[in-house]
Amino acid sequence: MKQAKPRLSLDRRNGISGWSFIIISVVMIFTFYFYPMVQSLILSFKTGTGANLTFVGLDNYIRLFSDRTFLTAVKNTFIYLIIQVPVMIILALMISVLLNDSKLKFRGFFRTAIFLPCVTSLVAYSIIFKYLFAGDGLVNSLLLNVHLINQPIEWITDPFWAKVTIIIAITWRWTGYNMIFYLSSLQNIDNSIYEAARIDGASSIQQFFKITVPLMKPIILFTSITSTIGTLQLFDEIVNITKGGPGNATMSISHYIYNLSFKYSADFGYAATVSYSIVIMIIVLAFIQFKVAGEKNG
């Protein structure tokens, strides 16, 4: 008589299979995300150039507060954040609500057209915008021709207008991206809610604020967090449109970290400190956004 092989319990078998399916991902994420994060934290307490590093405690963190370039980069990043993210989200919401109307003609065309910018690489569209907004570029000649302005605007070389250019560029690239999320979320809203509201005499603006926005809150929260994280990491556009200039008027935090590590004298320790400031900002801002969304819920 053949003896039955001792069988592993279902739980044990599940456990072995479970771990073997996920092990590569776990190892990869720990090696390329969490381990560098710890390295970065250790580095942030050290100073020196290249590989010659000495431990200096909190000196780097104290240095942040008197570092003018850093403070400018933080200020710039927050200007982008405070102006660009809300403008883009409101614009994307408006467009998606309009496009969600099934009676609208050319819906497919509008949707594809507005989404199209997402196809371009950040570098490619940055270069296009750099030339379109050049002093003698097309945007200026257009505005001059229709007499909206009397002399060309210094889109790239004036500290104020350079920020405006960056904001316009990012909004152009990402509005359609956010729109797609809102459109797919709008499709899940039951139409009868709107019909009931109309019978109750709610105007379309009231419907928007009382029905659409509250129902879409999770997705608005999601897009505002991803946009915030994206803006805090802004790099490609700054480097390719303005190179951070004029002066440091458009420099972002990521650009400064890059310069500290790879352009100036390889100050890895201090660069790591600056990078931790982004980590802290992301945590704080995500927390605030969750809080705000949560309160409106209650």
The residues in 57-86 that bind another protein, with binding defined as CB under 8 A, are none
User: For another protein, how many residues bind (rule: CB under 8 A)?
Assistant: 88
- Residues 255-294 close enough to bind another protein by CB under 8 A: 257-258, 261-262, 268, 271-272, 275-276, 278-279, 282-283, 286
- Residues 221-250 close enough to bind another protein by CB under 8 A: 222, 229, 232-233, 235-236, 239-240, 243
| Pick from 30, 90, 85, 163: nearest CA to 154 | 163
- Residues 98-137 close enough to bind another protein by CB under 8 A: 98-99, 104-106, 109-110, 112-117, 119-132, 136
The smaller minimum CB distance to another protein, of residues 188 and 297, is found at: 188
Neighbours of 44 (CB within 10 A): 23
The smaller minimum CB distance to another protein, of residues 83 and 221, is found at: 221
- Residues 26-45 close enough to bind another protein by CB under 8 A: 26, 28-29, 32-37, 39-40, 43
How many helices and strands, by DSSP H and E, does the chain display?
Answer: 16, 2
Q: With DSSP H G I counted as helix, E B as strand and the rest as coil, what are the percentages for the chain, rounded to 5?
A: 75, 0, 25
177 binds another protein (CB under 8 A): yes
Query: What is the torsional sign of CA 60, 63, 64, 70?
Result: negative
Q: How far from chain centre, in Å, is Cα 89? A: 12
Interface with another protein by CB under 8 A: which range of 79-87, 171-179, 191-199, 207-215? 171-179
Q: How far from chain centre, in Å, is Cα 141? A: 31
The backbone torsions φ and ψ at residue 46, rounded to the nearest 5 degrees and listed phi first, read: -120, 165
Residue 41 CB, nearest distance to another protein (Å)?
Answer: 9
